[in-house]
Amino acid sequence: MNATPLLPNPSGPIGVFDSGVGGLSILRALLERLPYESYLYVADSAHCPYGSRGHAEILRLSEGIARYLVNSGAKAIVVACNTASAAALAHLRATFPQIPFIGMVPAVKPAARMTRSGVVGVLATPATFGGQLYEEVVEQHASGARVLSMACPGLVERVEEGDLDGPTTRALLRQYLTPLLEAGADTLVLGCTHYPFLAPTIRTLVPAEVALVEPSEAVARQTARVLTERGLVRPGGTATQRLYATTGDAAHLAAALQHLLGRESDIRALQWHEGMLG
């Protein structure tokens, strides 16, 4: 007999996960829009980067993290990773039907509306471009615009290292941005949650009229909408929690939190064991 899944409790935290520290760009927007919610953030740094892995593996990892978040009382889960969304979002929704999932896809839709030159450049990981989700969004929402996809191996690692504007990071960015600019792109989509942390450096490398589009505020708005629709807005009265966990080095996530969000926190160390996190 199947056990009936427990309904999510509005007092529970919002689960947020990414392969590493990139999802902190989404968490930052969530904290701003929904400061009265509790959060449990998981960085799967033991497997970062996801972008060069196959979809089957990313799906397995995403399911393990989602199960951990659900077992920890998460009432909703933000997949703060384009790569994990591309590989696993539909599967996660089918596996945990009682939990609302907020996923992401590179923001091609607003970019196609904004472009004046008619050329949009999308920066993302190879696995994000390999997914059906991306293909669908380009097909359905980019009519009229020329969309150029630029896979950017190596950038996630630079952000994980905390190197947001050093010579190696700048050289990589130049390598990826130059062909897009030469092709006439005037709108660049940051299609990986690590990349918004590089936005100040990207700004110094592209003409002022080039627009950078990233979805963190839209994701936070969508999360607020979903919580309201499902009756899951947190009732007041108890203290909110911000919990951070990593499958990698706890000191690394603590340093990234400080460096990227200016926050200090204790970090919970997690370990993978036969597909389960604990």
Binding site for ligand DGL (CB under 6 A): 18-20, 22, 48-51, 81-83, 125, 128, 156, 192-194
- Tell me whether residue 157 or residue 181 sits nearer to ligand DGL (CB atom): 157
20/172 Cα distance (integer angstroms):
20
- Tell me whether residue 38 or residue 82 sits nearer to ligand DGL (CB atom): 82
Q: Which residues contact 64 (CB under 8 A, 6 or more apart)?
A: 272, 275, 276, 277
> With contact defined as beta carbons under 8 Å apart, do 52 and 114 qualify?
no
Catalytic (active-site) positions: 81, 192
In the complex, least distance from residue 51 CB atom to ligand DGL, rounded to whole angstroms: 3
In the complex, least distance from residue 212 CB atom to ligand DGL, rounded to whole angstroms: 15
- Tell me whether residue 48 or residue 112 sits nearer to ligand DGL (CB atom): 48
> With contact defined as beta carbons under 8 Å apart, do 162 and 98 qualify?
no
- The DSSP element (H or E) to which 61 belongs, if any, is helix 55-71
SS3 79: strand
In the complex, least distance from residue 194 CB atom to ligand DGL, rounded to whole angstroms: 5
Torsions phi, psi for 136 (to 5 deg)? -65, -45
In the complex, least distance from residue 153 CB atom to ligand DGL, rounded to whole angstroms: 9
In the complex, least distance from residue 39 CB atom to ligand DGL, rounded to whole angstroms: 17
> With contact defined as beta carbons under 8 Å apart, do 123 and 150 qualify?
yes
- Tell me whether residue 65 or residue 192 sits nearer to ligand DGL (CB atom): 192
The residue with tokens 């979903």 is 226
In the complex, least distance from residue 236 CB atom to ligand DGL, rounded to whole angstroms: 32
- Tell me whether residue 156 or residue 210 sits nearer to ligand DGL (CB atom): 156
Q: Which residues contact 191 (CB under 8 A, 6 or more apart)?
A: 82, 106, 107, 122, 123, 124, 128
- Tell me whether residue 13 or residue 49 sits nearer to ligand DGL (CB atom): 49
* 165-174 long-range contacts, CB within 8 A, separation 24+: 165/198, 165/200, 165/201, 169/198, 169/201, 170/201, 170/205, 173/198, 173/201, 173/202, 173/205, 174/205
The residue with tokens 């969508």 is 222
